[in-house]
Amino acid sequence: NEGKLWGARFAGGPSPELEALSRSTHFDWRLTPYDLAGSRAHANALHRAGLLSDHDHAELLRGLDVLGEKFAAGDLAPSVQDEDVHGALERLLIEEVGADVGGRLRAGRSRNDQVATLFKMFLRDHGRVITAQVLDLVDALTEQAAAHAGAIMPGRTHLQHAQPVLLSHHLLAHVWPLLRDVSRLADFDARVASDSPYGAGALAGSTLGLDPVGVATELGFTGSSANSIDGTAARDFVAEFAFVSSMIGVDVSRLAEEVILWSTKEFNFATLHDSWSTGSSIMPQKKNPDIAELARGKAGRLIGNLSGLLATLKALPLAYNRDLQEDKEPVFDSVDTLEVLLPAFTGMIATLKFNTARMEELAPQGFSLATDIAEWLVREGTPFRIAHEVAGTCVRVCEENGIELHELTDAQFAEINPALTPAVREVLTIQGSVSARTGRGGTAPVRVAEQLDEVRARVAEL
């Protein structure tokens, strides 16, 4: 049991099969910088508590620095005998500073409080990376919206033509969910920051008079766990991160799906930039929206990571159980997935070319101005129930005659209902329709210009 963290009470070493099952260094090794930072803070706490001489304290810090430098240089690796990152780093520290000094660091801490703290630090760091990447996507969408201020497109419900809207309004509708995701990440960060588990030990706290608040502060937390059992057993922070990651994936997938539709021959609303689309190995003419499709596909993977994690946590008794080691791979995967997906997706959006002529040609089709006729009648004093019927009749007459609403003659309008004077034509253009929707949050150009300012102000505050 040489080099193991728990050898003495066992008569023989672990079986190779157990070691293979138990080992986590192939995925938790990436926690090394956080483990070393935790060890530094813990060495300082032991020193403050009078449990480490000045010499041993300095030696431990030196050893930890050496390991940090080796790790940064790619020169530090776990061995097959190491169970996890924590055990491996203790072994390597002892190789560096000797067993007498290196063997003092583990006093008053457990891998249980260590791993909970380190995982929080890791997720806080990557939460910031992902926040910046989501904001890059927000920027790309905002710039596309600003660049197409006047363009009108068919707005859809049930994927059917509904009412004309500004393209910029539609693009900004994808921005707001992303800004809420950014705000979710900020909430997550503040909640996690207040709760550093270091000092909780295995589950019950420590007898050694250590200083968990000091350790927390040194590790960038704003407070330490009020309950050592909770500190070591809770993984809701992991589930929360996995949820926000899946929400980002889902939000991005909704835009992805639209890009896929927009770039079809049938829609022809948008053209992908050559550098942000792919070809076919057999069909020479093909140009495929692979980035958008991967975004759509990876949303499923992100959701899977969340559901797998929740299934692991369900009904798990307090406090630490080894099941909890299963919390890391799915969420590492969520982090890696988003960090590789978001920059590509942003590049695709930033370089997307919109075919606004095509959008404007289609915008009035499918009788998308029927609501405008009804609301015009309401403004002229007709009850909405009647107005709805009158506008519906206009649609039926058009369908029977194979024409669009603006092609009805004055006589046909008057015959449908005398309230339909020629003045109704003022709302029978897509420009008239969008300009009239001036309520807050509406698609009128004046409102959308304000909305763009609102988005920019919100982003500037972050």
In the bound state with ligand ARG, the residue whose beta carbon lies nearer, of 225 and 443, is 225
Q: What is the smallest separation between the CB atom of 328 and ligand ARG, expressed in angstroms?
A: 6
Token pair listed for 196: 């550093």
DSSP per position, 27-69: HHGGGHHHHHHHHHHHHHHHHHTT-S-HHHHHHHHHHHHHHHH
Closest residue by Cα to residue 85 from 65, 111, 103, 124: 111
In the bound state with ligand ARG, the residue whose beta carbon lies nearer, of 24 and 117, is 24
| Cβ partners under 8 Å of residue 453, min gap 6 | none
Q: What is the smallest separation between the CB atom of 325 and ligand ARG, expressed in angstroms?
A: 4
Q: What is the smallest separation between the CB atom of 309 and ligand ARG, expressed in angstroms?
A: 13
In the bound state with ligand ARG, the residue whose beta carbon lies nearer, of 126 and 447, is 126
Catalytic residue among 15, 26, 55, 158: 158
Inter-residue contact 408 to 398 (CB < 8 Å):
yes
In the bound state with ligand ARG, the residue whose beta carbon lies nearer, of 112 and 168, is 112
Q: Is 79 a catalytic residue?
A: no
Q: How far from 17 is each of 13, 21, 322, 370, 382, CA to CA, in Å?
A: 12, 6, 17, 71, 81
Q: Is 225 a catalytic residue?
A: no
Q: What is the smallest separation between the CB atom of 202 and ligand ARG, expressed in angstroms?
A: 7
Interacting residues toward ligand ARG by CB under 6 A:
24, 28, 84, 111-112, 115, 320, 322, 324-325
Q: Is residue 154 within a helix (H) or strand (E), and if so which, with residue range?
A: strand 152-157
Q: What is the smallest separation between the CB atom of 105 and ligand ARG, expressed in angstroms?
A: 16
| Cβ partners under 8 Å of residue 161, min gap 6 | 154, 155, 362, 365, 366, 367, 368
Catalytic residue among 53, 79, 280, 307: 280
Q: How far from 227 is each of 91, 203, 204, CA to CA, in Å?
A: 30, 9, 8
In the bound state with ligand ARG, the residue whose beta carbon lies nearer, of 105 and 153, is 105
Per 3-state DSSP, the chain is made up of helix, strand and coil in percentages (nearest 5) of 65, 5, 30
- Catalytic machinery residues: 158, 280
